[in-house]
């Protein structure tokens, strides 16, 4: 009985879930997790071969997955991809905007080309993918949109000015979508990962100065794993979050709350 209740509350059976940036470090973990919870995952990315390889792996586990090419920075490619997904699956129940990019350099060093690329993928692309998918969700008066924010949408780091601005915009856009789309039965929330260990961040966590600096600022004193984002992803994709919208949930090991404390008296 308990298992049946949990499945009805958190299970994703029957839901078609479109994921951008699906084959990246965080995207892969979220895609696998959503599929394991019963969702039919639609894996989208610039390199369709990577998405197809992930889809084959998911299907080998007994999950349901398909792969499509989508470059979120190319707005002309968005509508054809959405149309093809709807044609094949009939609907889109959940959208995960995972695609993102960053280049760490000082604010005074940023060139316009770098600025445009970060903004085009992280904010503009997310906007228009969400718009196109929400138009489909509108027809059914139902849907959940989940955006990937960042620690940098609230706490800033040196060398991340454009990325931080874009991710702050993602959170503001999440709230705007929540306000406008609620009347159509569409919810919108964000997951803001803290310092997650992926292939892209491995160089930081192996750095002799930056790694200790980060550990001192994280209450749990360690990086997160991409798989540790899956619980919140399943929650926001499922009916268990039916009264949750307009929020950004920081999964950060206690980084924003203050990190390791200074010395204090205690019997423990």
C-alpha–C-alpha distance, residues 230 and 212, integer Å: 26
Q: How far apart are CA 254 and CA 158, in angstroms?
A: 20
Q: Is 249 a catalytic residue?
A: no
Enter the tokens of residue 111. Answer: 């060139």
Return the exposure string of 63-93: e unless at least 16 CB atoms fall within 10 Å of the residue's CB, then b: bbbbbbbbbbbebebbeebbeebbeebeebb
240 close to 179: Cβ distance less than 8 angstroms: no
Region for 147 from its dihedrals, namely left if φ exceeds 0, alpha if ψ lies in -120 to 50, beta otherwise: beta
Gap between the Cα atoms of 213 and 227, Å rounded: 23
Residue of 5, 115, 138, 163 marked catalytic: 163
**Axis crossing angle, helix 48-60 with helix 25-36, rounded to the nearest 10:** 30
Q: Rounded to an integer, what distance in angstroms lies between the CA atom of residue 21 and that of residue 25?
A: 9
CB 45 within 8 A of CB 21: yes
Instruction: In whole angstroms, give the CA distance from residue 124 to residue 52.
Output: 25
d(CA 25, CA 4): 32
User: Which residues are known to be catalytic?
Assistant: 163
């Amino acid at each position: 009985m308990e298992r049946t209740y949990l499945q009805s509350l958190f299970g994703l059976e029957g839901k078609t879930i479109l994921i951008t940036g699906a084959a990246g470090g965080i995207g892969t973990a979220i895609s696998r997790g959503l599929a394991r919870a019963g969702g039919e995952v639609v894996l989208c990315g610039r390199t369709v071969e990577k998405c197809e390889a992930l889809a084959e792996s998911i299907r080998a586990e007994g999950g349901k997955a398909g792969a499509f090419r989508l470059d979120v920075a190319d707005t002309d490619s968005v509508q054809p991809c959405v149309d093809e997904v709807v044609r094949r699956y009939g609907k889109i129940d959940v959208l995960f905007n995972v695609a993102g990019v960053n280049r760490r350099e000082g604010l005074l060093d940023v060139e316009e080309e770098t600025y445009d690329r970060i903004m085009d993928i992280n904010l503009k692309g997310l906007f228009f993918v969400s718009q196109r998918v929400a138009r489909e969700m509108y027809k059914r008066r139902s849907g959940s949109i989940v955006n990937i924010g960042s620690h940098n949408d609230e706490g800033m780091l040196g060398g991340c000015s454009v990325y931080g601005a874009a991710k702050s915009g993602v959170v503001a856009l999440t709230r705007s979508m929540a306000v406008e789309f609620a009347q159509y039965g569409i919810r919108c929330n964000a997951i803001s990962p803290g310092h997650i260990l992926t292939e892209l961040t491995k160089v930081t966590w192996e750095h002799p100065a930056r790694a200790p600096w980060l550990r001192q600022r994280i209450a749990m004193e360690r990086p997160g794993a991409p798989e540790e984002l899956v619980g919140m992803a399943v929650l926001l994709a499922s009916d268990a979050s039916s009264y949750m919208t307009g929020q950004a949930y920081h999964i950060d090991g206690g980084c924003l709350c203050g990190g390791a404390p200074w010395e204090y008296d205690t019997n423990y």
